[in-house]
Amino acid sequence: MTPPRWTYPADLRESLEPFGLSPPDGTPPSVVRDALNDLYRYELRRLRDRLLAHEFERATYLDRVVLLRKKYWPLTLPLAGWERICGGEGRGG
């Protein structure tokens, strides 16, 4: 059996660049999505820490979280969606 050959479409690749992610073809989508999720969780924790340090008003916290979620929009796709988009060639089945 040949290992899956993943190909990242240009629009997905471009959406990952601001995060410093540039996966070469062949990288499993699960690895890339997990890396993006780790960055998102780091930023959420950092935002919470800034709230607790009183760097901004609590009333603006929810808006900041929503902006962060929009920034990380590729995470709205489940892993199966990433795999479908990247179309792993060579998968048996």
Residue 89 has pLDDT above 60, yes or no: no
Nearest partner of 31 among 69, 73, 70, 88, judged by Cα: 88
39 is a domain residue = yes
Q: In the predicted model, is pLDDT for residue 62 greater than 80?
A: yes
- Is the residue at 93 inside a domain? no
75: pLDDT confidence band, cut at 50, 70 and 90? very high
43: containing domain = 10-19+30-82
Residue 71 lies in a domain: yes
pLDDT digits (tens, 9 = 90+) for 6-61: 999 999 999 999 999 999 999 999 999 999 999 999 999 999 999 999 999 999 99
CA–CA distance from 8 to each of 5, 26, 44, 51, 73 (Å)?
10, 9, 26, 36, 16
How many domains does the chain fold into? Answer: 1
Q: Is residue 87 part of a domain?
A: no
| pLDDT confidence bin for 5, thresholds 50/70/90 | confident
Q: Say if 24 falls within a structural domain.
A: no
Question: Does any domain span residue 59?
Answer: yes
Q: Residue 70 burial (CB < 10 Å; 0-12/13-18/19+)?
A: exposed
Q: Tell the residue number behind the tokens 């479908």, with chain if given.
A: 84
Q: Is residue 44 part of a domain?
A: yes
